[in-house]
Structure 1
Amino acid sequence: MASWGIFILVFVGMWLLQVYFTLRQSKHYQQHFYEMQQQANGYMGVGVSKRRFGRGAVVMITTDQDGIVTRCKQMSGLTVFARFRERRELVGKPIEVCRIEHPRAADEIALNMAIEKVEEQRRKHLE
């Protein structure tokens, strides 16, 4: 009977660790989202690609009024330890050039989704 007690205690401990790290990652996401949102003018898009198994990805991209990328951050990985990283290779490019033609990887899908969000905002603003 004592072995069941130990098993339950370990299970509860692992579950509490998962909750803690999930909350920590959520706070990390919110901090970066707020930071990217502080741009004085322009547009922001967020793309998310979740998979049941395998790597997931989140991409945040901001552009100026003309559609030139001012910042781009990407978080991808398998675990709650994934963190945002800058994608400097996209900064300074027109948003149309950044689109991936045939996305396969989670980060490519998320990037295209973020670009679509920015383009949608730009269209609404021009109407």
Structure 2
Amino acid sequence: MVEIAILGSTIVLLQTIFSFYQIKYYHHFIKGIVKSYEQKTNYHLDTEIVKKTFGSMVIVVVTDGNNTIIESYYYRGFTVFSKFQDFNEIKGKQLDKCLLDHLENKQLSLKQKAIKQLINKKLKAVAF
């Protein structure tokens, strides 16, 4: 019984340490993007998180004043060793209703669901 308690405590401790590592990596990555655009005007950074049973997906998008996607990245948060990767499929596209309509009729992957949520959130912000 003591062995099970020690194993459980070790698992919880490791999960906590790895969670701090992931949070630190996320903040470092976002801070780097913000720093590269801090002297430029009319650029926006948006993020969206979609959770699934095992893991999650984070989308990071930088848009210009016309809502054209300048930079985009995704992070599949299943393990502590995951890193942000380029999301080239949406670079150069407009983050607007046309992209949302394009995604409406598709079997959505986790990345597409994140983009759809991001667009919906952006459109709601514009509507109010």
Does TM-score exceed 0.5, indicating one fold? yes
Q: Which residue of 1 aligns with 2:26?
A: 29
Which consecutive segments of 4 or more residues in structure 1 shift more than 3 A?
A: 116-121
- Segments of structure 2 that go 5 or more residues without pairing to the other structure are none
Structure 1, gaps ≥5 residues long: none
TM-score, length basis structure 1: 0.76
Match of 2:46 in 1: 45
Distance 1:103 1:30 in 2: 31
8 Å CA contact 1:43–1:118 kept in 2: the answer is no
Displacement of 1:47 in angstroms is 1.1
In structure 1, distance between residues paired with 2:71 and 2:18: 27
Answer whether contact 2:43 2:65 (CA < 8 A) is retained.
Answer: yes
Residue 15 and residue 55 in structure 1: after superposition, are their counterparts in 2 closer, same or farther (change >3 A)?
A: closer
- TM-superposed CA distance for 1:89, in Å, is 2.8
Secondary structure of residue in 1 paired with 2:74: strand
Corresponding residue for residue 114 of structure 1: 118
Q: 1:19 to 1:112 in 2, by over 3 A?
A: same
Cα contact 1:58–1:110 (8 A) shared by 2: yes
**Equivalent residue for 1:80?**
80
**TM, length-normalised to structure 2:** 0.76
Partners in 1 of 2:29 and 2:72 — Cα distance?
11
Deviations 1:27-64 (A, max 9, x none): 1111222223332232222111112x234211011111
CA apart distance, 1:112:
1.7
Of 10, 20, 36, the residue aligned with 2:17 is 20
Counterpart CA distance in 2 for 1:68 and 1:98 is: 11
Once residues 119 and 47 of structure 2 are traced to their aligned partners in structure 1, the CA distance between those partners, rounded to angstroms, is 8
For the 8 Å contact 1:56–1:107, the answer to whether it is kept is no
